[in-house]
Amino acid sequence: MKRLIDIQSRLKAGKTAFNSFGGYKYRSLETILEEVKPLLKEHSLLLNITDEVLMIGTRFYVKATARVVDPTGKLIAESSGFAREEESKKGMDSSQITGSCSSYSRKYAVSALFLIDDSKDADALNVKPEFTEAKLKDYPDSRMKKNEQIWSSMFASGTTQESLIKQIESQFVLSFDQKNQIDFIFKQATQKE
């Protein structure tokens, strides 16, 4: 575990990619992997990432699981990330939609595993001023009940409530009561095991 802690504390994966449509910098999976590979090699550890397509309700999700193992194959740590496939996306065929979904879920699984914080950093401050002042909308209460089954499945598959809250809070503001509700769903889902 000390080796993983050392990697987590030393890993610096900057937001080097730029989204010209949205006008912001972001961190890609490729950037994270470039930075983490030498640290993994230094500690004789292996990163393995797998995907699984799940049907939750009527929608397809890609669940990516990132695992760090030692040379004997012993699991050191693992984390999962989920992304929902769009039913259609202009200019993309179904394989491209799944591939995009896979990349997104892999990025969040690896980010969670290595404790990469997606909050504002020095790179995020280099965007246009109108984006630095953007206000997030409150998370709609109507979506809480709608997503309960999905979140329960995610929690039962290994997603932590912290990583789910972090994903939601990248786009919305959650109230104290909503966070408590997510915590309750997490406890129910993990007690079923």
State residue 26's pLDDT score.
80
In whole angstroms, give the CA distance from residue 186 to residue 193. Answer: 12
Judgement on whether residues 80 and 3 belong to the same structural domain of the protein? yes
Region 53-66 average pLDDT:
86
| pLDDT grade for 192, boundaries at 50, 70 and 90 | low
Judgement on whether residues 7 and 71 belong to the same structural domain of the protein? yes
Judgement on whether residues 73 and 100 belong to the same structural domain of the protein? yes
- Pick the last residue of a domain from 91, 118, 145: 118
pLDDT at 97 exceeding the cut of 70? yes
pLDDT at 127 exceeding the cut of 80? no
Percent pLDDT > 90 in the chain is: 23
| Residue 126 covered by a domain | no
Q: Which residues contact 36 (CB under 8 A, 6 or more apart)?
A: 7, 11, 13, 47, 110, 114
Name the average pLDDT for the chain. 79
Domain extent, residue 183, equals: 135-193
Strand partners, 81: 64
**b/e map of 62-92 (b: 16 or more CB within 10 Å)?**
bbbbbbbeeeeeeebbbbbbbbebeeeeeee
Angle at 17 between CA 26 and CA 11, to 5 degrees: 70
Instruction: Report the number of distinct structural domains present in the chain.
Output: 2
Q: pLDDT tens, 68-87?
A: 999 999 999 999 988 887 76
Burial class of residue 170, CB neighbours in 10 A (0-12, 13-18, 19+): exposed
| pLDDT grade for 129, boundaries at 50, 70 and 90 | very low
| pLDDT grade for 13, boundaries at 50, 70 and 90 | confident
Which residue, 161, 135, 119, is CA-closest to 27?
119
pLDDT at 139 exceeding the cut of 80? no
pLDDT at 34 exceeding the cut of 60? yes
| Residue 27 covered by a domain | yes
| pLDDT grade for 106, boundaries at 50, 70 and 90 | very high
The pairing of beta strand 46-56 with beta strand 75-84: unpaired
- Identify the CATH number of the domain in which residue 68 sits: 3.30.390
State residue 128's pLDDT score.
38
Question: What pTM does this model have?
Answer: 0.59
State residue 36's pLDDT score.
94
